[in-house]
Amino acid sequence: MGLLLDLAKQYKVLSIVGMAKNAGKTTALNYLIEEAMDDGMILGITSTGRDGETEDLVTGTEKPRVYLDNGTIVSVPSQLFDLADAGLEIVERLPYSTSIGELLLCRVQSAGYVQIAGPVAAQDTKRMCRNMFSHGAEMVVIDGAIDRKSVAAPDTSDAVILATGAVLSRSMNKVVEETAHIVNLYSLPELEEGTARTLLEANITGNVTDTVMLIDKDNNLKKLNLTTGLGASSVINDEITEDTRYVYIPGAFTNSVFSDIQNKKFKHVRFILKDPTRIFVRPIDWNILRKKGFQVSVLKNIEIAAITVNPWAPLGYTFDSDALIQEMKKVIPDIPIVDVRK
């Protein structure tokens, strides 16, 4: 297929994010690893959860193992190091703590199965990617855990592979709908270049001290005494006046950020978020918000490099792979969709 070569031209750090557990993240990872073997590319592999164990910790279902080729750079915690069947050379001890021991950066010296785990915090994952490149990795792949999406943040990775599949629902329409919702969120419009953007960027430090900020029609910026929007919807509502044009929320965007904001205020205000991974609103609430006239932009959106589908669910039902891909393509026409099990 040559999916990997195309991706490597554009992106250095790729994360695999799942719509749900058992959506096929590890299968997608193995697919990329296989392609890298064929192309002789050196990958750096890490995981935000744990990969390569034979059985799932939660559901007890069988999980695909991960076979790594010579030269691959991989992060392995000390307690999993002994379990690896590949020959691993430790190239660096990393300062990041994981719950299962000190994290080791290893180079595979003789190909084999490896159990992988990485740092628990996305910030640390980002720093570790740099170490991987300095040890010769040409591209880094971060495998997500469960349905955690925070590694998709543009801070951490250049692009994502979205793994979706039958496990989401017994109804194919629902699978397509939920996947499309995430795709829509990830491709939200970025705040256009202009005074508002310049103003915000000058005032965002990227630290936890960043506050909720308002910009009015005369481009006056006001910092609220709020380092989070969580639970602060009534305060934010009180601060929004007729002249307010933009509201910047520094962290997560949940129902508790907007629930007390009056409907008429949605009409003339645009919410600005850091990136789409900050949104924690169910599709149904999201659509209601949109109907109320809610407008939102992000500072940076997320590039979806490809979507992988797994037509098989561990609960025992399957969809026809071609039909599923066809339905997906109808709503998501611009992104390559592949069944990695084929």
The least CB distance from residue 314 to another protein, in Å, is 12
The least CB distance from residue 189 to another protein, in Å, is 19
Determine the Cα–Cα distance for residues 17 and 34; give it in Å rounded to an integer: 19
User: Of 174, 185, 152, 164, which is closest to residue 279 (Cα–Cα)?
Assistant: 185
> Please, which residues bridge with residue 103 across strands?
77
> Please, which residues bridge with residue 306 across strands?
161
Decide whether 75 or 244 has the Cβ nearer to another protein: 75
Please check whether residue 126 is in contact with residue 155, taking contact to mean a CB–CB distance below 8 angstroms.
yes
Decide whether 21 or 197 has the Cβ nearer to another protein: 21
The least CB distance from residue 84 to another protein, in Å, is 12
The least CB distance from residue 232 to another protein, in Å, is 8
The least CB distance from residue 126 to another protein, in Å, is 10
Decide whether 275 or 327 has the Cβ nearer to another protein: 275
Decide whether 17 or 332 has the Cβ nearer to another protein: 17
User: Of 129, 13, 18, 2, which is closest to residue 73 (Cα–Cα)?
Assistant: 129
H helices of 188-294, in order, are 195-203, 233-239, 255-258, 263-268, 283-291
Decide whether 72 or 98 has the Cβ nearer to another protein: 98
User: Of 178, 122, 119, 137, which is closest to residue 42 (Cα–Cα)?
Assistant: 137
Angle between the 3-10 and 25-39 helix axes, to the nearest 10 degrees? Answer: 90
Decide whether 145 or 304 has the Cβ nearer to another protein: 145
The least CB distance from residue 20 to another protein, in Å, is 10
> C-alpha distances in angstroms, 220 versus 199, 214, 227?
9, 8, 19
The least CB distance from residue 256 to another protein, in Å, is 5
Determine the Cα–Cα distance for residues 258 and 263; give it in Å rounded to an integer: 10
Decide whether 70 or 256 has the Cβ nearer to another protein: 256
| Residue 213 DSSP SS3 | strand
Determine the Cα–Cα distance for residues 207 and 262; give it in Å rounded to an integer: 30
Decide whether 83 or 323 has the Cβ nearer to another protein: 83
Positions touching another protein (CB under 8 A) are 21, 48-50, 57-59, 77, 79-80, 82-83, 97-101, 117, 120-124, 145-150, 153, 206-210, 227-228, 230-231, 250-254, 256, 277-278, 280
80-108 burial, b at 16+ Cβ within 10 Å, e below that, comes to: bbeebebebeeebebebebeeeebbbbbb
The least CB distance from residue 321 to another protein, in Å, is 27
